[in-house]
């Protein structure tokens, strides 16, 4: 098989996989809300979503300071026993890697993924690699933001880091130039 055929097979496979994941997320009823921290708008949006789904636990990964986050959810009328705050993550990849085992141990097999709309593509790909390979289905919910779309370089870098994590258990976060 020549390089053109191989590329066609790879692109076709990727397209089929993405289509399958899209259908899967359409039909699933998530068992938890997973918020990627970084902007209070995401936490406020998640608090409103939590009101719509009063039985779902909420996981916030490296969000706003604890007191501020708890006030956002309390103001929305969300009980504090549903709220799980985790501050281990340093970036988007580690948002997923630091909580995948915890969610699995809690029996969570599907989540609402809450992040900014301009961050969703990268977050979803990372999430599919890290959560998806661990049996957790994502249902993305984008929060409108006024920021520019993320550069392709971030997507490629973090996709590579996620694949590295699958193989080695390491995210390569120490290799990042910040």
Under the banding of pLDDT at 50, 70 and 90, the label for residue 178 is very low
Taking the model in full, what pTM does it have? Answer: 0.86
Mean pLDDT to the nearest integer, 14-35: 79
Stretch among 20-24, 30-34, 79-83, 143-147 having the lowest mean pLDDT: 20-24
Under the banding of pLDDT at 50, 70 and 90, the label for residue 126 is very high
Whether the predicted pLDDT of 148 surpasses 80: yes
Whether the predicted pLDDT of 2 surpasses 50: yes
Which regions of the chain does DSSP assign to beta strands (E)?
32-36, 58-61, 83-86, 110-116, 137-143
């Amino acid at each position: 098989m020549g390089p053109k055929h191989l590329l066609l097979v790879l692109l076709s496979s990727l397209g089929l996989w993405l289509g399958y994941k899209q259908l899967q997320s359409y039909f699933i009823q998530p068992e938890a809300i997973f918020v990627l921290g970084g902007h209070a708008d995401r936490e406020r949006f998640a608090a409103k979503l939590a009101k719509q789904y009063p039985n779902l636990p909420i996981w916030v990964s490296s969000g706003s300071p604890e007191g501020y986050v708890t006030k956002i959810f309390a103001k929305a009328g969300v009980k504090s026993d549903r709220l799980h705050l985790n501050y281990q993550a340093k970036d988007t990849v580690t948002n997923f890697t630091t909580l995948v085992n915890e969610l699995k141990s809690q029996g969570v097999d599907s989540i609402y993924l809450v992040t900014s709309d301009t961050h969703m593509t990268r977050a979803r790909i990372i999430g599919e690699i890290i959560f998806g390979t661990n049996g957790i289905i994502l249902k993305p919910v984008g929060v409108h933001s006024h920021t520019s779309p993320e550069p392709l370089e971030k997507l490629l870098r973090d996709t590579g880091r996620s694949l590295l994590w699958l193989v080695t258990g390491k995210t390569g976060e120490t290799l990042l130039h910040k």
